Homo-oligomer: A and B are copies of this chain.
């Protein structure tokens, strides 16, 4: 039996937004869900207990980083990602494709039909990622949701280049699907539960390509659909267009993940277009810069907070806001104490998870548009 199920619980009448549940062998994810990124199998400074406490439902780990350090073998020997990092909730791993293109030294990255040859951004050593190896590595790490290895188009690209890249993505998607079948057969033999695989849509900013990609990927019987290539360059600004083109083509009953997008300003647009999950480094990255989320984002490193007795956000119930003043958090940032980054990360992740709670509730109640008005 597939230990992966998605069901839609409520639909918004005015938009394509929907409330649902993704059931995995490590727990249920209520959607729409924000997915924090722990690139190297750790959310900057937080323990798994704290991740639970702030409301993390699904945790995103980068295969590229794990492949280089500590190595897939090590993660496997240590009992897989869940055991390795002490997180017993659902985990999503990516294909490694995006990092291979963005972190691999671009002049030394070579795309061939077999896969991508690149040099490590750490030590310059040579490596080859293929659809088959990406599937195998994700399988060996044991996450709950895997993503197919795609050819991540850069930006800007001509229509011709984007088309070629998309077609390669489609061939690779078929190879991923085949490799995944083998992994699942091994799981059955080994008595290990099913692991889900999402196909990835590319096509840059071109309507015909995006639609073609959405159609093709939808035919391959993936467990879910990921939309890739939206987080780079101008594509981000054209995100709404891409979603307008793509989403109506996608099968209603499958969960949809948007890769690498999820700033507060984006979230209403994603949700209204029927996106179910999305990963983004921004809330945690902003936290480490002292930028703290709220109805209005504040920069806690500014001098005006040096004697401010109030919590970061007056109504927030996170550990940071219920225990410390703005003045103390300001002080910790000012003197570069490690606790600063931790308290800020707790706040930002708490905030965005409560924001998603509100969004799910408003969809169920039919008040999403009103909630959006309150915010924008």
Please give the residue numbers on chain A whose beta carbons come within 8 Å of chain B beta carbons, in ascending order: 40-42, 44-48, 65, 69-70, 74, 77-79, 84-86, 306-307, 309, 319, 323-325, 327-328, 330-332, 334-335, 337-339, 341-343
Contact = CB atoms under 8 A, between A and B. Distances in A.
Contact of A42 (B40, B47, B325, B332): B332
A79 B42 CA distance: 35
A325 B79 CA distance: 11
A88 B324 CA distance: 13
B327 A74 contact: yes
A74 B306 contact: yes
Contact of A86 (B47, B324, B335, B338): B324
B84 A337 contact: no
A41 to B, nearest CB: 7
A39 B69 CA distance: 34
Query: How many identical subunits does the complex contain?
Result: 2
Contact of A327 (B78, B319, B324, B328): B78
B86 A331 contact: no
Contact of A69 (B46, B70, B335): B335
Contacts of A48: 323
Given A70-B306, A78-B328, A339 B47 contact: yes
B84 A328 contact: yes
Given A307-B77, A307-B78, A41 B342 contact: no
B74 A307 contact: yes
B337 A44 contact: yes
